Amino acid sequence: MGRVFKKKGGAKREAEDEKKEELVIKKKAKKEKSPEPEPESESGDDDDVEDVSDEEVEDEDEDEEEQNIMDFDFEGSAPVDDDRDGIVNLLTQTFLRTDIDMKAMAESIISKAPHGLVLTQVDDDEEAEQDFMVYGLCTTLALNENKENPPKFIKDIFTYLLNRAKKGAPTEIYKKIEEIQEAGDGKTGLFVNERLLNFPTIVVPQLFESIKNDVDNFETKYKTIIYIQKLRIAEGEESNAGSSSSSGAPPKKKGKMGKAEKKRAAAAALANAEIEFDNPEDRILFQLKEGKEVHFDFPVHMDVEPGSKFHTIEKEGKKYNPFRRLVIMDDKRFDAFLKKGCDSIVV
């Protein structure tokens, strides 16, 4: 029936679907009763109230947190037709407000089965109404295997990438995307690694292991992989982009900096900014020595509704604004990334 492993987490429902085999996340539902309230003092004297220590407050917070944990069983299996709508929902987390045909993209992902995995909730009650929800998606999709007559959604993806690169990337990255589009050799893949926000990372090793086994056995090997990551950058730090250089030299006066120089300065500022990754394992990619990668970051706060969980978040008194990071890596870096993800559970 596939591998079984223990997992705790508070995942919210936000997609829809069903599946096939490879991994099962074990979760058992358990709710703890709220402690009985202490009887109120009959004296009504404020002086009789005892001070509550910091340790007791922390214990209460931990108890409350434990009571809010909901446990589920999840299984990972190859995508099927019933998973289409759920896959579309997850793809829209990566590609915000774009003209990309997500439905066609989802159907292409399904057509590549058994390659790829979707995460769905296990339903042990045969009489219960089937719940089509997709909680995670991990797969790859060839971007340039049909140069003469590519599907429209592939054209849309390249239009999206080039438009973003034109606005904020160094010229060499823009040219690299153009070269990939023109190659038409099927040796560039889009890596899709999506889960519901804050979904526990215990699933990562099994997902990455499955993808690695698949791509290792592809007849046409990927030489280049494009990966769009979701991240947040501390407010104020990204706004300094373009105002200083990585060498620490004083900023030039407004109007004196050329377009290319502004892009380099912005990239340098972002590179030194405080970053939070929506998928914590994504940080690993930039700690590796194997292979090569280039990337650039672009803001997406204008593409997200203000009340959305994908908009600005606050952490330890700092506000973090939503960005996307477009990574172009070679096969060695991608292989090392998948291996590292297989070796450790990220928290």
DSSP per-residue string spanning 200-232 = -GGGHHHHHHHHHHHHHT-SS--SEEEEEEEEE
| Long-range contact pairs involving 100-108 (C-beta distance under 8 Å, separation at least 24) | 100/153, 100/156, 100/157, 100/160, 101/152, 101/153, 101/156, 102/153, 104/151, 104/152, 104/153, 105/141, 105/153, 105/157, 108/141, 108/151, 108/153
Q: What whole-number distance in Å separates Cα of residue 322 and Cα of residue 224?
A: 26
Evaluate whether 296 touches 173 at the Cβ level (below 8 Å): yes
CB atoms closer than 10 angstroms to residue 337: 28
256 pLDDT band, cuts 50/70/90, is low
Lowest mean pLDDT of 72-81, 235-244, 321-330, name the range: 235-244
Lowest mean pLDDT of 15-19, 141-145, 295-299, name the range: 15-19
How do residues 259-307 score in pLDDT, each as one tens digit?
556 555 555 555 557 899 999 999 999 999 999 999 999 999 887 777 7
Q: What whole-number distance in Å separates Cα of residue 89 and Cα of residue 120?
A: 14
Q: Domains of the chain: which residue ranges?
A: 74-123+131-229+279-298+325-343
Q: 0.75 exceeded by the pTM?
A: no
Residue 28 has pLDDT above 60, yes or no: no
Evaluate whether 222 touches 334 at the Cβ level (below 8 Å): yes
As a whole number, the mean pLDDT across the chain is 76
User: How would CATH label the architecture of 74-123+131-229+279-298+325-343?
Assistant: 3-Layer(aba) Sandwich (3.40)
- For every residue of 76-90, DSSP letters joined together read EE---GGGHHHHHHH
| Residue type (1 letter), 50 | E
Answer whether the bond into residue 322 is a cis peptide, omega within 30°.
Answer: no
Q: What whole-number distance in Å separates Cα of residue 268 and Cα of residue 241?
A: 7
Evaluate whether 116 touches 139 at the Cβ level (below 8 Å): yes
Q: Mean pLDDT across the stretch 114-126?
A: 82
Non-local (6+) Cβ contacts of 71 within 8 A are: 8, 27, 28, 29, 30
Which of the listed ranges 10-14, 48-52, 109-113 does the model predict with the highest average pLDDT? 109-113
92 pLDDT band, cuts 50/70/90, is very high
Which of the listed ranges 18-22, 48-52, 60-64, 155-159 does the model predict with the highest average pLDDT? 155-159
Q: What local confidence, expressed as pLDDT, does residue 303 receive?
A: 76
Q: Mean pLDDT across the stretch 176-189?
A: 93
